Structure 1
Amino acid sequence: MCLILVAWDAHPEFQLIVAANRDEFFARPSAPMHWWSDVPVLGGRDLAAGGSWMTLSSTGRFAAVTNVRDFTRPDAALRSRGEIPVNFSAGHDSPADYCRDLPADDYTGYNLLASDLEALWWTSNWAGAALPLDAGIYGVSNAALDTPWPKVVNGKRRFSDALGSGADVEDFFSVLADDAVAPDDLLPDTGVGIELERLVSPAFISSPDYGTNASTVLRIRRDGSYDVEERRFLHGEQTGHVAFAGDV
């Protein structure tokens, strides 16, 4: 159950900083971040459905998606959520138009963050919103934006500290590596039972079958240069990493 932390227009050097964990069943195949040959985006790729959880274009169009954990509502997907960030980064619509025009009923629950570096928007077909975001720090997991789940609250606090102490890549990866289990009285009740709520409460999740399989830090500077690194994991152990840098 994923986590995305974002600093938008909140640092003198960086226009956008993203620190994100992708959580998934380890048996579901995926490819590390790379420039795709068939679509002009940079991102990891879900090899089961063909989409991605986080993408960037050569012009700086960024998008990232999480699912929504709510077992009280039906889950009848017509299309894969993974196509949502891909289509934004590969397209030309403004974040406002893209977020407002998404065919929400075609997908199971999603959160989307999308930016063309002129604006950052969030939308969700579970929360019924498409909103421009002011300068600041934001967090989203598997509920609405800034829902005060422990991993979001703690993640934003530590992310803010890392931002204020130099915005170093390793400090952001340290935030994503937090595997502390939240106290029971702070856990949400999303219908999965207390044992699973505990399991998925940390920023970094590890279990025999499911957990964090990719951690990514993206920094886009105000001068148009960027760097991004993805680290891959299996059962809590790092299995590889890739890094890219350039100008948008």
Structure 2
Amino acid sequence: MPPINNSINIAHVLRLCTNSVQRARVILLSSLPNRCLLCQQRIEQTGYQQLFPNQVLTGVCQECLAASLYQHEVCLGCGREIAVLQAYCGKCLQHTPNWVVAPCSYHQGLGPLIAAIKYQQQCAPLNAITQQLACRIELLIKHGIIRRPQVLIPVPLHPNRLRQRGFNQAWLIAKELSLLTNIPVDDSCLIRVVDTSPQTGLAGKQRRKNCHGAFRLLDGMTYQRVALIDDVVTTGTTVDEIARLFSTQFVHVQTWCLARAEAPGLLD
């Protein structure tokens, strides 16, 4: 009788158990009351699990989600609508700002949900929006617009802010993106050393002053390509400050976020 490979059998049993737990989770979540936070209608799962296996759509219905995503290509520099899939609009080609990848505009539907994630701990829509971000990322990688980074780095909170809020929404987004893209998360190489005031309501010059010197890179950086993860990019002051630190180590930086809050009038 041939010997039994116990390690293979155990691994097989663990995979079966994991799959069973995932299926049970999907069935359970699908059976619970689940209404869209935007339109208050019941969220239907029809067709969604074909796109995202073992995932349950929560927090936002398919109709509101689809209507709030970009319906056109956008410049990765400023967020302006462009006619074809490319990195920059003509204006941004002149100074090539940092890339910002987002699936939607903060001002066109999903802004209240993204704000509720941060300020009200209402995380029900987080997975669905992150999944749309992952789809956008894969499209841009497939067409050679962006390169796949080696690691995801969530924009850190100062320890004081983390204790006050109880969680870092950028870390939650990064962990979900890691599962979807198979790119690891590193939350240890970048720290926030200054407990800055909230950026909301500050003008551009005030934002830059507020963020200057707020972050520090730890020694031993070994990456060449990284993606910063945040919930919303407005003026880009925070991610630009972090990108400046990485540039001193010759590290290429791009930013991935749930939504982009474009400059006033840009979408008119």
Q: TM-score normalized by structure 1?
A: 0.30
* Structure with more strand by fraction: 1
* Structure with more helix by fraction: 2
Q: TM-score normalized by structure 2?
A: 0.28
